[in-house]
Structure formats: structure tokens, C-alpha cells
């Protein structure tokens, strides 16, 4: 068992309370997508990114544990800085290295700090795959909002700007597996998952 002190458990407990506040942090793209979605917060986003990352890691022969943990924790810093959309980022400076050091550097195990630092560098296969997973979740969300009739989401889904016909998240994907998955999402139906299990009769 790794060496711990009584204070180690206190640090873990405080960190977990901090993580719990991710459920209270809305994602700021809601401003430009002209929507108010109470189910879309930093925690719910990170959850699906984690699952996407696991599949992509398996497909890309990356370390699934490391990739999934990177994905689950990739937005931890936003607990302290808040989320920022593309408008905010023009005017707001975020001290990411300082946040990571203050938030994770004093925990009993260095893994989360090391993985967060690695994720920000985008050099390892796992970091690249985890970032692709982040983009895939945004494509999923835009597809869902477009299905609900959100015209602004439809513009972002199909390409933002004059003459653009390609999704900007898709254009940023690095791995072939992520591109193939994104193509399936873009071409598919959001309700297809339940079509073969639907019944109007109780068992």
C-alpha cells in the first residue's frame, strides 16, 4: 500500500467535494447556441467524454485506463476558472498551469497532476485520443440540439461561417478512429439506439 498520512485522506475528501461542484457549472457554449440546458454541465460532459475516450483508446491501441482518466479529468481546472466559450477566450486569461499545480499538485498520488500536465501538452497518444474524445462529445451534443430544432446548433454542426460545409470539431480530430466515429455520428440518427428494443406491450 502506498505511503499515506492522516492528512492524505483529508486532501482526498476535499478534492472529491471540489469535484462534486462540477455538477453546478454550466457549459458556456449555451450562450452562443441560444439554449438553456440544465443537463449540460461540466460533470455530464466529462462523463461521456470518458466513455468516448475508452472506446477510442481501444481502437487506437492506446492505454485505455490512462486515456479514460485523462478524459474524465480534462476539465477539472474549470472548477476554478469557469468554462469559457470562443467569445470569452478572446478577453480572458486562464492560469492553467497554476490551477493544475494548486488543485492537483498536493494530492497524495501524483498521477492526476502528471496526466493533466501530459494532456495539456497533447504529445502522447493518450492525450491526443482524449482530446479527440472531447471533440466527439461536442459533435454528439450539436447533433442532439439540431434534432431538437436548434438552428444555431445546426450551423455549428455543419460548418460555422460563410461557405463552410464541414464540422469544425471534425476538422480538428487527429486519429482515424475518431474521424470514423464522427462520420457515423454525423450520418446517423440519435434515436436509433432504442428502435429495436421499443415495444408498446409490458412483459
How far, in Å, are 120, 129, 140, 158 from residue 182 at the CA level? 23, 13, 8, 12
CA-based R_g, the chain, Å: 19
- pLDDT above 90 covers what percent of the chain? 78
Q: Lowest-pLDDT range, 48-57, 130-139, 158-167?
A: 158-167
> With pLDDT > 70 as the criterion, what percentage of the chain qualifies?
96
163 has pLDDT over 70: no
Residue written as grid cell 457515423 = 184
In the numeric block, which cell numbers belong to residue 168?
A: 469544425
Domain annotation covers residue 198 = no
Phi, psi (5° rounding) for residue 54?
-60, -45
**Residue 92 within a domain:** yes
Q: How confident is the model at residue 19 (pLDDT cuts 50, 70, 90)?
A: very high
List the CATH number of the domain containing 144.
1.10.3210.10
- Torsion-angle region of 149 (φ positive above 0: left; ψ -120 to 50: alpha; else: beta): left
What is the structure's pLDDT at 162? 60
Residue reference for cell 409490458: 202
Q: Domain range for residue 38?
A: 9-189
What pLDDT sits at residue 165?
66
Residue 45 lies in a domain: yes
Q: Would 169 be classed as within a structural domain?
A: yes
User: How many distinct structural domains can be found in the chain?
Assistant: 1
Helix (H, G, I), strand (E, B) or coil at 202: coil
- Kindly state whether residue 116 falls inside one of the protein's structural domains: yes
Task: Report whether pLDDT(131) > 70.
Answer: yes
Amino acid at each position: 500500500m502506498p505511503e499515506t498520512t492522516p492528512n492524505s485522506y483529508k486532501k482526498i475528501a476535499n478534492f472529491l467535494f471540489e469535484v462534486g461542484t462540477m455538477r453546478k457549472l454550466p457549459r458556456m457554449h449555451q450562450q452562443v447556441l441560444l439554449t438553456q440546458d440544465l443537463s449540460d454541465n461540466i460533470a455530464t460532459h466529462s462523463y461521456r467524454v470518458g466513455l468516448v475516450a475508452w472506446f477510442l483508446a481501444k481502437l487506437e491501441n492506446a492505454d485505455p485506463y490512462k486515456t479514460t482518466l485523462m478524459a474524465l479529468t480534462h476539465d477539472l481546472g474549470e472548477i476554478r476558472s469557469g468554462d469559457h466559450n470562443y467569445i470569452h477566450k478572446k478577453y480572458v486569461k486562464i492560469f492553467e498551469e497554476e490551477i493544475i499545480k494548486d488543485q492537483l499538485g498536493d494530492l497524495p498520488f501524483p498521477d492526476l497532476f502528471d496526466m493533466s500536465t501530459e494532456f495539456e501538452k497533447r504529445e502522447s497518444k493518450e492525450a491526443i485520443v482524449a482530446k479527440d474524445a472531447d471533440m466527439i462529445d461536442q459533435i454528439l451534443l450539436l447533433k442532439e440540439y439540431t434534432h431538437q430544432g436548434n438552428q444555431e446548433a445546426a450551423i455549428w454542426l455543419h460548418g460555422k461561417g460563410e461557405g463552410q460545409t464541414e464540422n469544425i470539431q471534425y476538422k480538428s480530430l487527429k486519429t482515424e478512429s475518431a474521424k470514423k466515429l464522427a462520420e457515423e455520428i454525423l450520418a446517423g440518427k440519435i434515436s436509433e439506439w432504442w428502435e429495436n428494443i421499443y415495444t408498446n406491450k409490458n412483459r
